Amino acid sequence: MEGITALTSVITSSLTDGAASTGSTLAGSSPVENRDLACATRVLRTEADALLALAGSLDGKFLRALDILQGIEGRVIVTGMGKSGHVARKIAATMASTGTPAFFVHPGEASHGDLGMIAKIDAVVALSNSGETHELADIIAYTRRFGIPLIGMTRRAASALAEQSDVALVIPPEPEACPLGLAPTTSTTMMLALGDALAVALLERRGFSAADFREFHPGGQLGRALLKVTDIMHKGEDLPLCRLDSPLSDVIFEMTAKRLGCVGVTDDAGALVGIITDGDVRRHLTPELLAERADSIMSPRPKTIRPKALIVEALREMNDKKITTLFVIEADRPLGIVHIHDVLRAGAA
């Protein structure tokens, strides 16, 4: 538990520092505004204290829950009613996007046919603050009947949910941030954080990488940021190439046809050994130029990039080297070429 102790110490220090620098009143504000700020500060600190208590309460039950979720052949079914249901949806979504197949099943719908969505190779994570939510009864009974692992997440260790679960993750009895002590606030925050802890721990156990993450997030800024150069490169017939002994008349034709402002030069083994840009052609422009060979004006050792590099890395390389193209190579052979316009269109900037 040394890691948990260290985490608690770091969070406590951070909260203490924040409390010293951030007051609950604002100079020049009205009494009403200061009251609102004091309320907001109280809520955040109440929930922060609860998260510290939750971190300190983690034990072997959390590890057993991880073992169950990692060991199943099927998916993680997350369920809950009311506010717990909203949290359950988020937990399922987080797990699914971080390498643990999961989805949400509404307990009410489960009682009317959706129990068929839960297979014997799955595991169920059920959320209930009280642990006595009657809508969960059919799902709990179903898991017990067919031997489906059940992980309960509740505030009451003596509840029906906790007693029937294979593993009961009991959150600390911290006060709700609501002054009436009725609206689920602190309790839902702890459940959400505990779900995140399960998802991230599973992610780390599986060695889930940024590249894996992108597979589940192809859209939006996140997906664009994790694009690899192989996703946007010109390849095959669109790749401008010539041989060392190609006449420059053919080189110029290739450069014009492919419209990337350059041509890669390869040796007899197919390895990339040089590059000819439109600037090279202009600098060597003479009446005899078209009869020359490609190797007479090429620049050796062209700038290249590895296939698995992200497009943001390609953009940085182009900016640093003040160039507009990079050949994508593997074992010295050109697989494709990336132009700065391709990178910008993909949203790397």
Q: Where are the beta strands (DSSP E) in 198-288?
A: 241-243, 262-266, 272-277
Chain-centroid distance, C-alpha 29: 40
User: How many angstroms separate the CA atoms of 337 and 264, rounded?
Assistant: 9
Which parts of 72-185 fold into alpha helices (H)?
83-97, 107-110, 137-146, 160-164
The rounded radius of gyration (Å) of the Cα atoms in the chain is 30
Contact 146/121 with Cβ under 8 angstroms?
Answer: no
Start-to-end C-alpha separation, the chain: 42
Rounded CA separation 199/268 (Å): 51
Question: Does 106 appear as a known binding residue?
Answer: yes
Task: Answer yes or no: are the C-beta atoms of 150 and 136 closer than 8 Å.
Answer: no
Using DSSP's 3-state secondary structure scheme, residue 330 falls into strand
Q: How far apart are CA 238 and CA 337, in angstroms?
A: 9
Cβ–Cβ under 8 Å, residues 118 and 105: yes
Closest by CA to 348, choosing from 306, 312, 307, 313, is 312
- Cα 165 from Cα 136, distance rounded (Å): 12
Annotated binding site: 106
Per the annotation, binding residues for Zn(2+) are 106
